[in-house]
Amino acid sequence: MIQTNSGLRSLVQSLRPITSSFSEIAAYCCYTSQAASALQQVSRPNSYSEDEYAKVDWDNLGFGITPADYMYTMKCSSDGKFEQGQLAPYGNVDLSPSAAVLNYGQGLYEGTKAYRTEDGRLLLFRLDQNATRMKMGADRLCMACPSIYQFIDAVKQTALANKRWTPPRGKGTLYIRPLLIGSGPILGLAPAPEYTFLIYASPVGNYFKEGLKPLNLYVEDEFHRATRGGAGGVKSITNYAPVLKAMARAKSRGFSDVLYLDSANKRNLEEVSSCNIFLVKGNTISTPATSGTILQGVTRRSIIEIALDHGYQVKERAIPVDELMDADEVFCTGTAVGVAPVGTITYQDRRVEYNVGEEPVSQKLYSILEGIKTGVIEDKKGWTIEI
């Protein structure tokens, strides 16, 4: 049985910071046992056991989809209330051709990971941040959204059910992808009459084909990722297809990814296609301030907090592109990407190289962050949840 009583107890304990009353916890227990029994109804191969690993070539994981056994689904109709979420085998989703997400892009996604500790346990990281960001996005896109509590519970269930797909420590992580979509049919442009919250998971290794090697970024000054007043600050699915052209062009020229500038003046740095950016100069670490066009990355926030704890000055501010020429070190942050050092940046006809050798700041911060995520460093901040 996947969901044991002690497992349930530890789930409840780990939810304490976000539950305000006994009745919420009781409701949670009732809800979880419903979902757990739904899971038990799903047929599983005889060989399944909680401690087993799936048959995966753990040494050659990239960032491709290798679907884990179970996905989670929860729906809500016009009353805006999500309920009766359940796990089922990973598979296709049944959608009306007139679903709002297909016609008008009313959809959000999140990305988080399950990490194995050295002794095989599973840790999740700052799920409340992802849940809150989905809520902000849902508000921006006029969507109903699961509560923070439901979001966290659903991710935990998905991770636990797919535990055997979580790579051994040091080989990768289980990437978990929550999706919120306007699944109800609509013809005229309006919010969908029904929403579906889905979560699936896949074991992954390094995001970039460069592996852990430094990235070569290209500063894009023709295409933009986001505009003022747009939806760049939330994880709308509509933010991603429009960057593909710039990414494809940069990759065809041998770059790893694209660094975008603000669309109003083409003067200040924004972010990379799927990660935030940091510049290091002496003891000061700077990153573009989030003012609606840049995603408020969970990794970005965590790195800022770790850097402050370790005596760095951190500035969230407007960063003119010219400062790239002057930085000692540059790095990118994201759940998928981790903390990736940048080796070169090309802007117009200039190419700058950065320190990636002796003791880069990014390496130091990355080791601390990974240490917390994988249980090697004591989590004094309450960022991790064990499941």
Ligand X SMILES: Cc1ncc(COP(=O)(O)O)c(C=O)c1O
Pick from 335, 346, 362, 374: which binds ligand X (CB under 6 A)? 335
The pair of three-digit structure tokens given for residue 194, joined into one six-digit string: 């029904």
The nearer residue to ligand X, 14 or 274, going by C-beta atoms, is 274
CB of 109: closest distance to ligand X in angstroms? 8
The nearer residue to ligand X, 271 or 329, going by C-beta atoms, is 271
Of the CA atoms within 13 Å of residue 365, those in its CB half-sphere come to 30
The nearer residue to ligand X, 2 or 306, going by C-beta atoms, is 306
- Residue found under tokens 């969507």: 143
Q: Is 338 in the site for ligand X (CB under 6 A)?
A: no
Pick from 166, 196, 286, 299: which binds ligand X (CB under 6 A)? 299
The contact mask relative to ligand X for 227-266 (x = CB under 6 A, - = no) is ----------------------------------------
The nearer residue to ligand X, 2 or 114, going by C-beta atoms, is 114
CB of 25: closest distance to ligand X in angstroms? 28
Q: Which residue is nearest to ligand X (CB)?
A: 297
172: region left, alpha or beta (phi > 0 left; psi from -120 to 50 alpha): left
**Choosing from 113, 135, 156, 235, which is the catalytic residue?**
235
Pick from 178, 182, 214, 297: which binds ligand X (CB under 6 A)? 297
Strands (E), the chain: 70-76, 83-89, 107-109, 112-116, 122-125, 173-182, 195-204, 215-220, 257-261, 269-272, 276-281, 284-288, 313-317, 329-334, 338-347, 350-353, 384-386
Nearest to 303 by CA among 376, 235, 373: 373
CB of 207: closest distance to ligand X in angstroms? 10
Q: Is 177 in the site for ligand X (CB under 6 A)?
A: no
The nearer residue to ligand X, 178 or 297, going by C-beta atoms, is 297
The contact mask relative to ligand X for 260-289 (x = CB under 6 A, - = no) is -----------x--xxx-------------
Q: Is 185 in the site for ligand X (CB under 6 A)?
A: no
Nearest to 342 by CA among 240, 195, 163, 217: 217
Pick from 15, 114, 122, 298: which binds ligand X (CB under 6 A)? 298
Nearest to 174 by CA among 219, 117, 119: 117
Instruction: Report yes or no: 281 and 327 within 8 Å, Cβ to Cβ.
Output: yes
CB of 29: closest distance to ligand X in angstroms? 30
**Which residues contact residue 47 at a Cβ distance below 8 angstroms, ignoring those fewer than 6 apart?**
none
The nearer residue to ligand X, 176 or 298, going by C-beta atoms, is 298
Q: 235 an active-site residue? A: yes
Q: Is 295 in the site for ligand X (CB under 6 A)?
A: yes
d(CA 298, CA 29): 28
Q: Is 131 in the site for ligand X (CB under 6 A)?
A: no
At 236, which helix (H) or strand (E)? none
108: phi then psi, degrees, rounded to nearest 5 = -135, 150
Instruction: Report yes or no: 345 and 324 within 8 Å, Cβ to Cβ.
Output: yes
Stretch that binds ligand X, among 39-47, 57-65, 192-200, 292-300 (CB under 6 A): 292-300
Helix (H, G, I), strand (E, B) or coil at 213: coil
CB of 169: closest distance to ligand X in angstroms? 20
* Cα dist from 181 to 82, 98, 101, whole Å: 13, 13, 6
Instruction: Report yes or no: 59 and 146 within 8 Å, Cβ to Cβ.
Output: no
Pick from 113, 224, 300, 373: which binds ligand X (CB under 6 A)? 300
The nearer residue to ligand X, 15 or 340, going by C-beta atoms, is 340
Q: What is the DSSP string of 88-118?
A: EES------TTBHHHHH--EEE--EEEEE-T
CB of 11: closest distance to ligand X in angstroms? 23
CB of 26: closest distance to ligand X in angstroms? 32
CB of 48: closest distance to ligand X in angstroms? 31
Q: Which of residues 67-126 bind ligand X (CB under 6 A)?
A: 111
The nearer residue to ligand X, 28 or 115, going by C-beta atoms, is 115
Instruction: Report yes or no: 374 and 169 within 8 Å, Cβ to Cβ.
Output: yes
Indicate which residues carry an active-site annotation: 235
Binding interface with ligand X (CB under 6 A): 111, 271, 274-276, 295, 297-300, 333-336
